[in-house]
Amino acid sequence: MTTLMGCIADDFTGATDLAGLLARSGHSVSLRIGVPEGSPNDAAAFEVVALKCRTAPVPDAVAECRAALRWLQEAGSRQIFWKYCSTFDSTAEGNIGPVAEALMNDLGAKQTIYCPAFPENGRSIFMGHLFVGRQPLHESPMKDHPLTPMRDSNLLRLLTPQVTKPVGLVDRLTVERGVAAVRAELAALAAEGVANVVVDAVADADLHVIAEACLDMPLLTGGSAVAMPLPALLQKQAGAAPPTTAHLRPKIDAPSIVLSGSCSAMTRAQVAQYAAHAPHYRLDPLDLAENGISDALNWLMQVPLNEAPMLYATADPKDVGAAQAKLGVAEAGRVVEVAIAELASAAREAGRRRFVIAGGETSGAVTKALGVTRLDIGEEIAPGVPWTYAESGGSLIALTLKSGNFGQPGFFAEAVAKLEAE
């Protein structure tokens, strides 16, 4: 099969977000966990490589993304999409800008765009400023993110220190005038040597204009939503046949479990709502650091398999800060990831096969612990959050990898119910 586009995502939930939106097109979508080993021999129309590099040291992130690019090029990908979070999660040094410039260099690209807008999930960009709902990014709950606190809403100011070439803007007034206007503005910026261009978008219609205007760029970057129009555009450009793939819906008659490591405001609401009617156990980083998972594991093994329990380290910013003060930021996150990964493996061995996972770092730890290397994409539970399916320990399992801020308060119960309905 011809690979129409190859995608590189900086975390696992972001990868499933992108894969789910691409799968709306009906084209086959394959999600690889980490850079695949060996040559591609079973590539899908759209290939997504999920990495765990959002907060990695810049040289490591760049090297890993370049390795993913080489594999995607070998698979036949002529266009590359660099996917990061719709809240532009990053440190002051990167890794959004450094990776984008490295990929541009490898592809021979002179210019790319940055468009993390996702209007369907309340992410919009106006005059270069990113909004979460009606709040500027720096006033939203993202200002207190434990790993990447976002204290500025101006994407040009955030991006400039991360890149070596000039940064510019195509604003909403230009986007509203259509494809030709966007192309003309990009060309004018390129003539001035502007290689990194933030593009405004406040509605889905804007994303269609941007995608068509930038279709011939070797590299596009952004949140998942700006990639959503690309399957139809690339199919038309390539003269490919219309897709015939239906959503994957394998039958998995097995118990579920919810595992949450995200501390976002939305995940806190989701944890609170699910805990009101399901068995639940809170994982305390300080206790885990001292005593390990034995108490949590004993609790889990006593929960009947016909119930869907929740284990969670989700906490408010004050509690997260207290744990980080005692353990250090990196160690507080590490002990939670290790614990949830070990508990996920124990749950699989006990017979659970459906995993609802909240948080990018948590999702990475769990998929690695379960030995998952490839995910096939099923139906969405909420915008950007599909069920996915994989082989693990000789069994077929279902996983949904939820970005912390995605979904509504009832998401966990909805996710479990969706598979029960199958």
Q: Summarize pLDDT for 346-366 with one digit per residue, the tens.
A: 999 999 999 999 998 899 899
Q: How many CB atoms lie within 10 A of CB 16?
A: 33
Query: Which pLDDT belongs to residue 418?
Result: 85
CA 186 remoteness from chain centre: 27
> What secondary structure, in 3-state letters, does the chain show?
CCCCEEEEECCHHHHHHHHHHHHCCCCCEEEEECCCCCCCCCCCCEEEEECCCCCCCHHHHHHHHHHHHHHHHHCCCCCEEEECCCCCCCCCCCCHHHHHHHHHHHHCCCCEEEECCEHHHCEEEECCEEEECCEEHHHCHHHHCCCCCCCCCEHHHHHHHHCCCCEEEECHHHHHCCHHHHHHHHHHHHHCCCCEEEECECCHHHHHHHHHHCCCCCEEEECCHHHCCHHHHHHHHHCCCCCCCCCECCCCCCCEEEEECCCCHHHHHHHHHHHCCCCEEECCHHHHHHHCCHHHHHHHHHCCCCCCCEEECCCCHHHHHHHHHHHCHHHHHHHHHHHHHHHHHHHHHCCCCEEEEECHHHHHHHHHHCCCCEEEEEEEEECCEEEEEEEECCEEEEEEEECCCCCCCCHHHHHHHHHHHC
> What pTM was estimated for this model as a whole?
0.84
| Six token digits for residue 217 | 């760029």
- Answer whether residue 244 shows pLDDT above 80: no
Q: Are 66 and 105 in contact (CB under 8 A)?
A: no
pLDDT of residue 290: 94
pLDDT at 27: 84
**105: Cβ contacts below 8 Å, ≥ 6 apart:** none
Q: Average pLDDT of the chain?
A: 92
* Mean pLDDT in residue range 122-144: 94
pLDDT digits (tens, 9 = 90+) for 26-82: 888 889 999 998 888 888 889 999 998 998 999 999 999 999 999 999 999 989 999
pLDDT at 421: 57
Q: Sign of the C-alpha dihedral, residues 65, 70, 73, 79?
A: positive
The mean pLDDT of 84-113, rounded to a whole number, is 95
* Residue 339: closest CA among 390, 265, 281: 281
The beta strand positions in 38-117, using DSSP E, are 46-50, 80-83, 112-115
User: Is residue 162 predicted with pLDDT exceeding 60?
Assistant: yes
Res. 409: pLDDT tops 60: yes
Contact, 23 vs 96, CB < 8 A?
no
Backbone angles phi and psi of 124, in degrees to 5: -135, 160
Query: Does 333 score more than 70 pLDDT?
Result: yes
Give percent of the chain with pLDDT exceeding 70: 97
Q: How far apart are CA 396 and CA 422, in angstroms?
A: 15
Per-residue pLDDT band for 325 (boundaries 50, 70, 90) equals very high
Comparison of pLDDT for 314 and 78, the residue scoring more: 314
* 177 touches 186 (CB < 8 A): no
pLDDT for 271-300, tens place per residue? 999 999 999 999 999 999 999 999 999 999
19 CA to centre of own chain: 9
So what's the pLDDT on residue 159? 97
Q: Map out the domains of the chain with their CATH numbers.
A: 5-238 (3.40.50.10840), 256-421 (3.40.980.20)
Give the type of residue at 130: L
Across the range 372-378, mean pLDDT stands at 89
224 C-beta neighbours (distance < 10 Å), count: 30
